[in-house]
Amino acid sequence: MSKIRVVKQVLEWNDDVSESIKSITSEKGVTIINVMGSPGAGKTSLITRLIERLGDKYKIGVIEGDITDTIDADKIDKLHIPVVQLQTQGACHIEAMSIEHILPMFDLDNIDILIVENIGNLVCPAEFNIGEDFRISILSVPEGDDKVAKYPLMFSTSDCVVMHKYDMKPYFEFDDVRVENDTLDRNPKAKIFRVSSRTEDGLKELCEWVESKLK
């Protein structure tokens, strides 16, 4: 019988680090939310709205994941929220090791919710647990109603799917029922919200759901 030790690169030790982040945040009562979606789906806009609506009641911190620059972190900083910009320098997803490294930069005794804006990408961010308590995936109306079927992993591993920019629906052939069915077929427990960060429709319901998921 073979005694060769086998280690599966990255994903296996990524999960170990993810679990160690979870034990730290459990002790500190911090809820980590992993926000994923394409570039331009409205991740930063939605996070801003969540901060506006929940920021009086909860202490919120943000990790902004981007390939380069501090454009999104600058926006969050204006809200007077503790924020760290993670620059992946080309990598197209966030790994748990980066979150583990950044976590001590926050005063976790004074954070209830840590929101992570993942790299804009519908593919590999979904493959990496980052110590999150739950995942919100955003699919905006202009991206098209076939994206759950074409990029199933992200939507099937998310606790919540936001159909975003819902104010744009009259201008696109976007079948919201198809998105809902494509999601629920793969992920029957997913919560689905139709939201506009512009008109703020649907935000109240989303915020109530987020609150129900906090530690």
Ligand X SMILES: Nc1nc2c(ncn2[C@@H]2O[C@H](COP(=O)(O)OP(=O)(O)O)[C@@H](O)[C@H]2O)c(=O)[nH]1
User: In the complex, which residues of this chain contact Mg ion (CB under 5 A)?
Assistant: 43-44, 72
Strand partners, 194: 163
Closest to ligand X by CB, 37 or 61: 37
- Rounded to whole angstroms, how far apart are CA atoms 85 and 183? 31
Contact 44, 72 (CB under 8 A): yes
User: What's the distance, Cα to Cα, between the start and end of the chain in Å?
Assistant: 46
Q: How far is the CB of 141 from Zn ion (least distance, A)?
A: 25
Q: Does 93 bind Zn ion (CB under 5 A)?
A: yes
Closest to ligand X by CB, 102 or 206: 206
Q: Does 67 bind Zn ion (CB under 5 A)?
A: no
Q: Which of Zn ion, ligand X, Mg ion, none is residue 71 near (CB under 5 to 8 Å by kind)?
A: none
Q: Which of Zn ion, Mg ion, ligand X, none is residue 129 near (CB under 5 to 8 Å by kind)?
A: none
Q: Does 92 bind Zn ion (CB under 5 A)?
A: yes
Per-residue 3-state assignment (H helix, E strand, C coil) for 75-126? HHHCCCCCEEEEECCCCCCCCHHHHHHHHHHCCHHHCCEEEEECCCCCCHHH
The residues that touch Zn ion, with contacts defined as CB under 5 A, are 92-93, 124
